[in-house]
Structure 1
Amino acid sequence: MSHTERHRTDRIGWLRAAVLGANDGIVSTASLILGVAAAGAGSQAIVVAGVAGLVAGAMSMAAGEYVSVSSQADTERADLAREREELATNPEHEHEELTAIYVERGLDSALASSVASQLMKHDALGAHARDELGISDSLAARPAQAAFASAGTFTVGAALPLLVVVTFPASALMWAVSGGSLVFLALLGALSARAGGASLMVAASRVTFWGALAMALTAGVGAIFGVVT
């Protein structure tokens, strides 16, 4: 019988990093541009600030993702090493642990013990990693993948408000950047929801609201403390 269900949990690692990077790229760069523009800076200064924000943000996202996900990977490796040692030194206790997990999930004791025995015979470490530690191949930490996905999508996201800056005249810059960025955020939310199988409307509304709030606050700071040059 063919299996027609489509699950998307294997996308969680890279999808989370990609959405975070793109969202951050749009919001932080658009907010920076609006803040500098509201302070009365000229077009050249706005472009320079935006490009600097793009480069700095992409590198920051890559470094942050790599460090944080590497910490998760280190923890997973340490837990697996500890579990491997326990399986070698006390397999009976590990069998009891796995049996208890399956009993708690609804199997009777005899069946749970049989399932634990068969799974441990097939792949003891894999069974304990998945069912005791919650570590699986689809959800395992991948630092390099997260770093590249986050930095790459940040760059793409940050380039969008910069494209608006070089396309529209200075007189329309505030409205063009803010309006265009909200459209970009709504599209990002819809695309990420489609990739993850979630509600398009909820995701689009969520990222648009927080993006609008960030841009409004930054523009307000620029208007209050800016000095026209």
Structure 2
Amino acid sequence: MTGSPAPEGATARDRRRWARYLVDERAEAAVYRQLAERRTGEEREILRALAQAEGRHEAHWLALLGGEPARLPRASVGTRMLGWMARHFGAIFVLALAQNAERRSPYDGDPAATPAMRADEKIHAEVVRGLAARGRRRLSGGFRAAVFGANDGLVSNLALILGIGATGVGSQVVLFSGIAGLLAGALSMGAGEFVSVRSQREMLAATEPNEDAHDVLSDLDLDANELALVYRARGIDPVEADRQAHDALRRAAEAAPPLARRHGVVPRSDDDIVGGAWTAALSSFLCFASGAIIPVLPWLFGMNGAPAVVLALVLVGLALVGTGATVGLLSGGPPLRRALRQLLIGYGAAAVTYGLGLLFGVALG
């Protein structure tokens, strides 16, 4: 895509804006090329095509500027961060950020951008969303268990420790309660996640079409036409089910693909979403334990009283913000909002149990 010479009446402010667009397009193209080098097959080709499209946008701004300016501004902070992450982190994080960046294109309200460029940016956002979704599917099973495990460990053990501590017991009791909560919770989370994932996989397997019926097509009674019931059970209209059943029976003796695929009923595998039961259980156990140890650290290193409580709150708060922002980033949502939500939920639970502990302490006293 080539641009036109700078329009009459272009101001210095316009030229600065175009120069900023130019460097951002170059930086975004570099991000896509860096990601492409770390991928293979179709994903690599898609990322390279995105980089080429950013190059066409770059040519448009160069034409408006009348060539390469003597001085160029730095790329935006967000674009530079994308470049840094592309060099040091996995593609999933970068694509999730790029998805948000493409969705907030500045070209929508800029008359200097062509309609084709504005359309490109919207298409790019959808392409990047699709690539990011592939990555999310690959890690969703273990990642879901890991995030839930870490957050449960942080919140439940902080609430437990503050609730026990508020009753006025000694620091040793608080420490042992925290360690007991860590072990019990981690084992419970691991076992629960194993049962949950195994049950979900069994349920999904039970809902997939069974190909055994294909082997007995030639023995079916055409008048009874039980095969039509199979199609109707799969949600096909009764009239269409009868038609397909008669067609299938006439071709029963012919070599053909499996029945379900021949008639457009293709089993959908959700294994990549659900994940493995052992992987989910281990991730949940380890991440719960890693989260639950954080509020225990002040007492583990000999602190007690108010200083230990304050430090535990600070450490857990930082961890909650980190996990919340990570979830927001990978889900394509606003990281800050997710981080604050996690923080409020965690501190809210801790405040409730601390208040209950104070009540029990007074009652026991």
Asked if 2 retains the 8 angstrom alpha-carbon contact of 1:40 and 1:226, the reply is yes
Asked if 2 retains the 8 angstrom alpha-carbon contact of 1:190 and 1:201, the reply is yes
Instruction: State percent identity of aligned pairs.
Output: 33
Asked if 1 retains the 8 angstrom alpha-carbon contact of 2:142 and 2:275, the reply is no
1:75 aligns with 2:203: yes
Asked if 1 retains the 8 angstrom alpha-carbon contact of 2:146 and 2:283, the reply is yes
Residue 160 (structure 1) aligned to one of 289, 294, 311: 294
Residue 323 (structure 2) aligned to one of 172, 175, 188: 188
In the TM superposition, residue 146 of structure 1 has moved relative to its aligned partner by 1.2
More helix by share: 1
In the TM superposition, residue 87 of structure 1 has moved relative to its aligned partner by 5.0
Residue 187 (structure 2) aligned to one of 53, 59, 76: 59
SS at match of 1:49: helix
The 2-side partners of 1:210 and 1:217 are apart by: 11
SS at match of 1:40: coil
Query: Which residue identity lines up with residue 6 of structure 1 in the other structure?
Result: A
In the TM superposition, residue 199 of structure 1 has moved relative to its aligned partner by 2.2
Distance verdict in 2 for CA 1:20–1:140, change over 3 Å: closer
**RCO (CA 8 Å, sep 6+): is it higher in 1 or 2?**
1
Residue 212 of structure 2 corresponds to 85
TM-score normalised by length of structure 2: 0.50
Distance verdict in 2 for CA 1:76–1:226, change over 3 Å: same
Deviations 1:14-34 (A, max 9, x none): 111111100000001111110
Gap runs ≥5 in structure 2:
1-41, 48-130, 218-226, 237-256
TM-score normalised by length of structure 1: 0.76
| Aligned residue pair count | 206
The 2-side partners of 1:140 and 1:86 are apart by: 28
Residue 170 of structure 1 corresponds to 305
1:150 aligns with 2:275: no
Gap runs ≥5 in structure 1:
101-119
Residue 261 of structure 2 corresponds to 124
Query: Which residue identity lines up with residue 166 of structure 1 in the other structure?
Result: L
User: How much is the aligned-residue C-alpha RMSD, in angstroms?
Assistant: 3.2
1:6 aligns with 2:143: no
Deviations 1:63-119 (A, max 9, x none): 111111111111122223x523345556x8689999x7xxxxxxxxxxxxxxxxxxx
Distance verdict in 2 for CA 1:197–1:36, change over 3 Å: same
Over alpha carbons, which structure has the higher Rg? 2
1:179 aligns with 2:314: yes
The 2-side partners of 1:9 and 1:155 are apart by: 25
In the TM superposition, residue 124 of structure 1 has moved relative to its aligned partner by 3.4
Asked if 1 retains the 8 angstrom alpha-carbon contact of 2:295 and 2:316, the reply is yes
Residue 27 of structure 2 corresponds to none
Query: Which residue identity lines up with residue 46 of structure 2 in the other structure?
Result: H
